[in-house]
C-alpha cells in the first residue's frame, strides 16, 4: 500500500508545523500540502488531490464547514477528518452533513491522531457512538417524511448487517467476528455500500441511512 497523502488545513502556523513534523515521522503518511485558510484549502485540494484532509473549523476567508463542503464537491473521494478545539453540536452536525468522515478535538494525543488518520483512510469509524445517537435523535422526526428508495432496494441483506454494526461504532475486526467473516470481506462490503450510496466514508454512509430512517434507536444500542 502506498503512503496516505495528507493536506493540513490550520490557520495557526505553529500548530500546523508541529502537526506536519508529527505526521512525517510515520513511514506511511505523507503531508503533500498546507493551507492557512478555507479558500486555500479548497484550491490545494483540487490541485493536490490528497487522500485525507485534516480540517480545522474556525478559519479566515472560509470556514471549515464550507471548505469541507466545497472539497467534497470537487473531490468526492477525499476523506475529511476534522481536528478542532470546538465540540459544539452544531459544528459536529454541520461538518458531518458537509461530508466530514471524522471529528477529533485538539486535546487528542499524537498517537490518537495518527491512528485516526489510518482509521478513516481504511473506513474505520472516528465518530463516537454518542454522536451517532445524537444524529439519530436529530433526524428521527424528518426521516418519516424523507422520500427515497427503501434500503432493501439499494443494499443486500449482508450489506445492511455490516452497515448496522458500523453505525454502532464497531471496528472492521469486530464486525467480522460478529458476522463470522474476514476483515477483508467487511472492507469489500463497505466499499460496495459506499459505491451504492454515493458516499466516501463510513460516517457519510451512517448519516445517509439515519436521515432516511433506515435504522431506529433500538437498532443501535
| Structural domains present in the chain | 4-121 (3.40.50.2300), 131-219 (1.10.10.10)
Does residue 173 register a pLDDT over 70?
yes
Tell me what pLDDT residue 217 has. 55
Cα separation, 192 vs 184, whole angstroms: 12
pLDDT band at residue 129 using 50, 70 and 90 as cut-offs: low
Cα separation, 202 vs 124, whole angstroms: 7
**48 vs 148, more confident:** 48
Tell me what pLDDT residue 80 has. 92
Tell me what pLDDT residue 1 has. 57
Cα separation, 44 vs 8, whole angstroms: 10
Does residue 179 register a pLDDT over 60?
yes
Cross-strand bridge partners of residue 82: 55, 103
pLDDT band at residue 220 using 50, 70 and 90 as cut-offs: low
- Cα 66 to its chain centre, rounded Å, is 15
What is the pLDDT of the chain when averaged over all its residues? 83
Cα separation, 160 vs 119, whole angstroms: 21
Name which of 31-45, 87-101, 153-167 the model is least confident about. 87-101
Cα dist from 152 to 86, 179, 221, whole Å: 38, 19, 22
**181 vs 200, more confident:** 181
Tell me what pLDDT residue 28 has. 94
pLDDT in tens, 1-42: 579 999 999 999 999 999 999 999 999 999 999 999 999 999
Amino acid at each position: 500500500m502506498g503512503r496516505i497523502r495528507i493536506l493540513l488545513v490550520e490557520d495557526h502556523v505553529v500548530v500546523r508545523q508541529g502537526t506536519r513534523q508529527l505526521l512525517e515521522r510515520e513511514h506511511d503518511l505523507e503531508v503533500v500540502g498546507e493551507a492557512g485558510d478555507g479558500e486555500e484549502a479548497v484550491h490545494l485540494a483540487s490541485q493536490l488531490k490528497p487522500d485525507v484532509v485534516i480540517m480545522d473549523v474556525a478559519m479566515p476567508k472560509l470556514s471549515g464547514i464550507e471548505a469541507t463542503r466545497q472539497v467534497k464537491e470537487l473531490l468526492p473521494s477525499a476523506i475529511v477528518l476534522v481536528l478542532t478545539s470546538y465540540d459544539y453540536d452544531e459544528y459536529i452536525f454541520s461538518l458531518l452533513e458537509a461530508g466530514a468522515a471524522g471529528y477529533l478535538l485538539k486535546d487528542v494525543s499524537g498517537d490518537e491522531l495518527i491512528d485516526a488518520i489510518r482509521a478513516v483512510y481504511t473506513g474505520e469509524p472516528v465518530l463516537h457512538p454518542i454522536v451517532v445517537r445524537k444524529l439519530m435523535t436529530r433526524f428521527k422526526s424528518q426521516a418519516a417524511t424523507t422520500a427515497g428508495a427503501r434500503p432493501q432496494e439499494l443494499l443486500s441483506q449482508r450489506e445492511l448487517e455490516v452497515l448496522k454494526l458500523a453505525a454502532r461504532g464497531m471496528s472492521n475486526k469486530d464486525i467480522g467476528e460478529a458476522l463470522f467473516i474476514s476483515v477483508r470481506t467487511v472492507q469489500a462490503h463497505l466499499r460496495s455500500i459506499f459505491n451504492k450510496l454515493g458516499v466516501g466514508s463510513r460516517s457519510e454512509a451512517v448519516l445517509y441511512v439515519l436521515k432516511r430512517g433506515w435504522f431506529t434507536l433500538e437498532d443501535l444500542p
